[in-house]
Chains A and B, each alone.
Chain A
Amino acid sequence: GAGVSQSPSNKVTEKGKDVELRCDPISGHTALYWYRQRLGQGLEFLIYFQGNSAPDKSGLPSDRFSAERTGESVSTLTIQRTQQEDSAVYLCASSNSGGALDTQYFGPGTRLTVL
């Protein structure tokens, strides 16, 4: 497809379980971003990739959160030992080069519910 895709679209898990969220950016986009959006709130920056490296991990809320990117393409966000406060929509975005004025294109998000 031409846009950013994410899977799964919805994930319900039990507290304490690990979850893995996937993002497929637009082909050729070198920059990739992960955000978290809690219900009724703005976007919270989590991590940014330029190619396969993550120069900015400042937004990861705790050591339970990790992300990787391979082949300058797919990225996975992993949340270990999920907590109820992790419930949110996780949005992925990609941009052409990560330059200052690069437009981000967002995926549809993964809605995570931790019971």
Chain B
Amino acid sequence: GQNIDQPTEMTATEGAIVQINCTYQTSGFNGLFWYQQHAGEAPTFLSYNVLDGLEEKGRFSSFLSRSKGYSYLLLKELQMKDSASYLCAVRGGQNFVFGPGTRLSVLP
């Protein structure tokens, strides 16, 4: 079967750092993707990892460990506009399997 787990909700303070974890069990692996989705809007691409390690992209970084079936998204210097859902998705074969998303609330 295919399963992706993420925490349902997280809360953090403006200016802080937050780590959103994702664990997965999928048949096949061709990359792990992170998307941001603001309420009522479509998801937008943030990052992807195909090899183990950390990928840094400005305030956002994403880490992957394929042997552990684990990834995290690290958001630094949080801003109010970062309040959104963060979706972890694994590409196995030709389709994508999405996790349920983590709703992040950034408080002043």
Contacts and interface: CB of A to CB of B under 8 A. Distances in A.
A106 to B, nearest CB: 4
Interface residues of B, number: 23
Contacts of B42: 91, 106-109
Interface residues of A, number: 24
Contact of B95 (A58, A101, A107): A58
Contacts of B99: 42
A103 B45 contact: yes
A43 B42 CA distance: 11
Given A101-B50, A109-B42, A33 B91 contact: no
A18 interface: no
B1 to A, nearest CB: 13
A108 B37 CA distance: 11
B63 interface: no
Interface in A74-109: 91, 98, 100-101, 103-109
Nearest to A43: B98
25 contacts: A33-B96, A42-B87, A42-B99, A42-B101, A43-B43, A43-B87, A43-B89, A43-B96, A43-B98, A44-B98, A45-B95, A45-B96, A45-B97, A48-B95, A56-B95, A58-B95, A91-B43, A98-B94, A100-B31, A100-B50, A100-B91, A101-B50, A104-B45, A104-B96, A106-B44
